[in-house]
Amino acid sequence: MFCPKTCLWFGILASALYGGSMQTKAESPFNVGDSFPDQWFPDASDGRPRHLNQWFGKKIVLHLFASW
């Protein structure tokens, strides 16, 4: 049931491993040229929903990380 998204990730992974257009880590699920997944996330400060589209028209640096 997760195939559409999961298969996309696997496709990206295969592309990276076998000479695709990825610029960095082979295991990265992100592909240059793709749009970032359309998803709302809670803000850690107040729990309010946030979406990258609030900055449409601007350049964005997105850090995906954990503090551990």
The binding site for another protein (CB under 8 A) comprises 1-2, 5-6, 9, 22-25, 27-45, 49-53, 55-68
Nearer to another protein, 18 or 66 (CB): 66
Q: How many CB atoms lie within 10 A of CB 16?
A: 20
Report the C-alpha gap between 8 and 16 in whole angstroms: 12
Indicate the SS3 state at residue 50.
strand
CA 59, 57, 23, 41 torsion-angle sign: positive
Name the minimum Å distance from CB 18 to another protein: 17
Nearer to another protein, 18 or 35 (CB): 35
Name the minimum Å distance from CB 54 to another protein: 9
